[in-house]
Structures are given as C-alpha cells and as structure tokens.
Homo-oligomer: A and B are copies of this chain.
Amino acid sequence: MGVIARVDDYLTRFLDHQHLPPNLDAAIRYSLLGGGKRVRPALAWFSAIACGGCGEASLPAGSAIEMVHAFSLIHDDLPAMDDDDMRRGRPTLHRHTNEAMAILAGDAMLSLAYEAVLTHPEPAIALHLCQELGLGTRRMIEGQVYDTLGGMPGSLSEIECVELIHRNKTGALLRASCRMGAISAGASEAALDAITRYSEAIGLQFQIIDDLLDVEGCSQALGKATGKDQAAGKKTYPGVLGVDQSKLLANQLGKAAGDALGELQAMSLGDTTHLRAMGEMLTNRSA
C-alpha cells in the first residue's frame, strides 16, 4: 500500500472511531477523503524515514496536518472569503451542503486534528507534535489574514510582503509537515534543523509554482479556477517579480532544499531520496 492509501486508510479508521453526527461525518469525509495529493502527509512520512524512523510513526501527525489543510480549504472557499464553487474538480463543501455545515465541519476538523496527533503512543512526542501543529496552524491563519485582510507592517517592500504571506499561508503547514514527521521519528536537533531548512525552501518554492500555475495553468489540471489571483488583485511572485525571475527563484529554492538534504544524508540516519523526489516533483509540477 502506498503512502496515499495508508493515509486515507488511517483517516478513515480515525473517523470511524469518532461516531460523529452522520451529517457532520459525511461532510468531513466529503472534504477529507475526496481526493487530494496528500503532499503534507507524504512529507511527514518521508521526513520520518529520512531521520531514521519508519513512515508508520508519522501517520498521526500526517493525518492531523491533512485535516488542518482540508479545514483551511473549506473555510477559504466560503462566500465571505474566496467564494469558490469548485475544489479538486467537485463542488466545494458549502456548495455541496450549506454554509453553516462548512463552517462547523471546518471547526470540527481543526479540533479533530489535535485529537489525532494525541494518538501518538509516546507522550513526550505527542506533546511536541501538539506544539508544532499549533504553531503551523496559527501561522497559516496569520498568512490568510495578511493575504485577504492586510495588516502587514508598512515598512516591508512589495516582495517582502509576498514572502511574508506565503511563508505563513502555505509555508507554515509544509514546514510543520516535515518537522512533525521528523519529530514523530524521534529526530535529533541536528536532523530536525536540516529538515526545517529543507521544508522552508520547498514551502516557498511550492507557493511560487502555485502562483505561476495560476498565471500559466489551466483549470482542468488544477481542478479549480485559475487566473483568480490576478483578478482578485492578490500579491503574487509573478505579479511582483515577473514570470522569469519567479522561475529562477523557484529553482534556487530547489537547490537550497537539495543542499539541506545533502547535510541530512551525510548524517546517515535514513533514506533522503524520497524527499529529494518530492522536491523535484514540486519543481516540475506544471499544467
């Protein structure tokens, strides 16, 4: 069974144990198990392996982050936020059910995410995972606030604003994915430091490529509407730096990620090739 199937299986069994009201349960499964590339749980899984642990140990963390990611998409799609009708090629949750359910299902998923990390069998690790999940989630929400409601320090340049938004909005949860996978495997401080630098580089790279796809991509490949960033006047890398400079920066970040993995590999803890492959997959993502 591949990582995606393992994560879906874990999430399914986790939800089976919760005995939620059937309409809430259905709403959560619709959003959580309706496809998705499971990038974050895969990063957690392969970070655990790269730090000398087994992928299995990362499942509470990876599943929790996937729940936080899915909750954030549900709330982002709401009419008062991005007002999106489609997500992953299907109606968004508030279109499939209603706005009240989308608000409450998102709230429940955020709370369930903490319950999921607490299932890690090592208490000290469970506690550390909770702290990382809290920080990642909160920074993601801060990024969303900066992106949609402003409030950035007036002293920042335009490109610093874009970076601040993206490091929080997308980067914080990707960073948490890698760190929580490593923590799940009991990683040393040195290994966690290398994983963190890798995650910060690919996090920013991921968002730059997402911005580029929004400019260049087609909605069929993304499963959602494109060109919306520009239409909404949102600050993006290609909007500030231009397409070519943005591609160059994405490649530089890919190299920085590779360097961090090289350091980790030199520690001879575990196999880093999967993380390297994920970095390349993110770089080569295109419509």
Is the pair A115, B99 in contact by a Cβ cutoff of 8 Å?
Answer: no
A266 proximal to B (CB < 8 A): no
How many angstroms from the CA of A108 to the CA of B146 in the assembled complex? 13
Is the pair A104, B144 in contact by a Cβ cutoff of 8 Å?
Answer: yes
- For the complex formed, measure the closest distance between the CB of A186 and the CB atoms of chain B, giving whole angstroms: 16
| Cross-interface CB contact of A149 among B75, B100, B114, B130, cutoff 8 Å | B100
Q: How big is chain A's contact interface, by range? A: 35 or more
| Cross-interface CB contact of A124 among B106, B118, B123, B148, cutoff 8 Å | B123
* A103, A111, A114, A123 interface centre (most CB from chain B within 10 Å): A111
Q: Can you tell how many copies of this chain the complex includes?
A: 2
Main SS of the interface on chain A?
A: helix
How many angstroms from the CA of A72 to the CA of B144 in the assembled complex? 20
- For the complex formed, measure the closest distance between the CB of A247 and the CB atoms of chain B, giving whole angstroms: 30
Is the pair A145, B24 in contact by a Cβ cutoff of 8 Å?
Answer: yes
What are 15 pairs between A and B in contact, CB < 8 Å?
Answer: A21-B142, A23-B150, A24-B141, A24-B142, A71-B107, A75-B107, A78-B103, A100-B149, A104-B144, A104-B145, A104-B148, A114-B134, A118-B130, A118-B131, A118-B134
